[in-house]
A = this chain, B = another copy of it.
Amino acid sequence: MSLREILTSMIEQVDGAHAVMLMGYDCMAVDEVRRGEPDFDAQAMAVEYATVIRDIRRTIEVVGAGDMEEMTITTTNAGMVLRILNDDFFALFVLSRTANQGKARFLLSARALDLIQSVE
């Protein structure tokens, strides 16, 4: 299964998902699949988060709280679920406020290995 096929399969399983992306910490999206149009700039949000994640991972390491696995952010009109894949990549869903965040978390976890293998 290609990366594009994996991402497409993932977004089709989450009602209210605006986008699912595989990204590097250099803030470049390796690939992404979008659906509908969020009323905000999902791409810009993902890029900004890449920087923040570097800070959070460093913090977790410094305080000895293990390795970062997942982050979710909820705003008044959107949601975001992000999963660390390895030292090079992370994957994230950008969601509407009403989307099933739990399903997005499950899929990111369940497909993590497939996503990593698709870019190796």
Contacts and interface: CB of A to CB of B under 8 A. Distances in A.
A55 B55 CA distance: 10
Tally of this chain's copies? 2
A56 interface: yes
Given A45-B59, A48-B59, A68 B75 contact: yes
Nearest to A41: B63
Nearest to A61: B75
Interface in A79-97: none
Interface residues on A, range: 20 to 34
A52 B63 contact: no
A117 interface: no
**What are the 6 closest A-B residue pairs judged by CB atoms, nearest first?**
A66-B76, A66-B77, A48-B59, A66-B75, A40-B65, A40-B64
26 contacts: A40-B63, A40-B64, A40-B66, A44-B62, A45-B63, A45-B65, A48-B59, A48-B62, A48-B63, A51-B55, A55-B55, A56-B73, A60-B73, A65-B75, A65-B78, A66-B75, A66-B76, A66-B77, A67-B76, A68-B73, A68-B74, A68-B75, A70-B73, A70-B74, A71-B71, A71-B74
